Amino acid sequence: MREIRKILIFRNGRIGDVLMVSGVARFLKKAFPLAEIHLAVPEWVTGVVGAQEGFTRVFAYEYTYSWRRRVALAFAIRREKYDFIFPLEQANRPTKSAFMWGGRFRFSFKNKYSYLQTASFPYETETHETVNTLRLLQMGIHHVAKKGFRIDNFDRCLAENFLPPILQFTEEEKQAGATLLAEFRLSASEPFIVLHPFNSFDAPLRRWPLANYEALARRLTQRGYQILFSGYGDEIRALEPVVVRLQDARKNVGLTRRNISARERGTVVARAQALVVTDGSPMHIAVAVGTPLLALFGFSAANRTGPVPGGSPFEVLTAKFPCSPCMYRESAERTKCEAQGFGDCMVAIAPERVEEKVLTLLRTGVR
């Protein structure tokens, strides 16, 4: 029987978007154990996943409007002679790019240019992005099976229902995680909880108030837990006054005092007892490393971009406002929240309620 030898996965976006496809290689290896699986991502996220997660090669895809550069990239990719190309986005442009890149078979989500593909799959807006991705991969597997290509574990692959993200670390990376905890003034031998108040989207409507995180941290430290506040760039400076107010003689409140990579953050989160966060890349990191997770949602849709079943133990907490989630639609309530600079649905989540959910998660989560 004929073999699939080389597969290209393309995903544009941020760290969270790439983490949501980090389980793709592991899944495809079940069907095509001899295949090389390459991943094309923007240059700013090339270090997020790699060989540890099963990808043979990860390379930077330049998102450019220059036709000269796009044609040069197309010729370079066509020389690779891919059997499969999967642009894992609903957008039109990746579908056009996949056509330019060649490939024996191309599978995409249905859009304006999906006629350029071998076959396309409808993107379900009420379904989680990782499940949409899984269904697209399964369609591709089913299609080439009918063409006479060898598929290992065919029935098992088509029976999968979830595609959780995955981050795996080398021993050196794991040891570096322990060193980072010491740098951030926490003991690696004592239980700690990570609080990540901000998100990389700079979207105020996603956020739970920083004062609420401070109140939560105060409650949890009184119960004996260490707290690590996590942030990026300017967020770290915004967190410094909070940490100073919370620190006591035991120094049981720490802060990521410099930018660290997504993988470094993953090694730290993997050691934590829990993570409390809103929609963003740290949430997907926790799912990928198996850390119990409490995700606070209101503005964005948990059923579409929230934690993925099959990964870490998690719970999604919302204030259940009738107008939320409003990320994908306009409304009078959203306009009001945008004008005031915060989301009423997020402010309404009380620190006492979050503490209760965290303690429940700590009792039931498997570590």
On average, the pLDDT of the chain sits at 91
pLDDT of residue 202: 57
pLDDT of residue 225: 93
What's the angle, vertex CA 230, arms to CA 337 and CA 324, rounded to 5? 25
Residues linked to residue 203 through DSSP beta bridges, in sequence order: none
The two tokens of residue 165 are 């993200």
User: Which strands, in side-by-side order, build the sheet including 192-196?
Assistant: 253-255, 226-229, 192-196, 274-278, 293-296, 314-317
Residue 52 three-state SS: helix
Q: Label residue 328 by pLDDT band (50, 70, 90).
A: confident
Over residues 282-293, the pLDDT tens digits come to 999 999 999 999
pLDDT of residue 194: 97
By C-alpha distance, which of 82, 42, 79 is closest to 58?
A: 42
CB 308 within 8 A of CB 43: no
Q: Label residue 73 by pLDDT band (50, 70, 90).
A: confident
Q: Label residue 365 by pLDDT band (50, 70, 90).
A: low
pLDDT at 306 over 70: yes
pLDDT of residue 213: 97
Q: What is the 3-state secondary structure (H, E, C) of 326-349?
A: CCCCCCHHHHHHHHHCCCHHHHCC
91-99: long-range contacts, CB 8 A cutoff, minimum separation 24: 91/12, 94/10, 94/12, 97/10, 97/70, 98/10
Over residues 115-127, the pLDDT tens digits come to 999 999 999 988 9
pLDDT of residue 91: 87
pLDDT of residue 152: 96
Over residues 292-302, the pLDDT tens digits come to 999 999 998 89
Angle between helices 210-222 and 234-246 (to 10 degrees): 40
What's the angle, vertex CA 133, arms to CA 22 and CA 87, rounded to 5? 85
Q: What number of other Cβ atoms are within 10 A of residue 244's Cβ?
A: 10
Report, as an integer, the average pLDDT of 183-188.
89
pLDDT of residue 332: 86
pLDDT of residue 253: 93
The two tokens of residue 76 are 């370079």
Over residues 261-276, the pLDDT tens digits come to 999 999 999 999 999 9
CB 110 within 8 A of CB 92: no
Report, as an integer, the average pLDDT of 164-184.
93
CB contact set of 22 (below 8 Å; sequence gap of 6+): 48, 49, 53, 165, 166, 167, 288
pLDDT of residue 367: 53
pLDDT at 249 over 60: no
The region of weakest confidence among 9-23, 75-89, 225-239, 323-337 is 323-337
329-338: long-range contacts, CB 8 A cutoff, minimum separation 24: 334/205, 337/205, 337/299, 338/205
CB contact set of 90 (below 8 Å; sequence gap of 6+): 109, 111, 123
Every domain of the chain with CATH number 3.40.50.2000 lies at 6-159, 171-364
User: Which fold, 171-364?
Assistant: Rossmann fold (3.40.50)
Architecture of domain 6-159: 3-Layer(aba) Sandwich (3.40)
pLDDT at 341 over 90: no
pLDDT at 178 over 60: yes
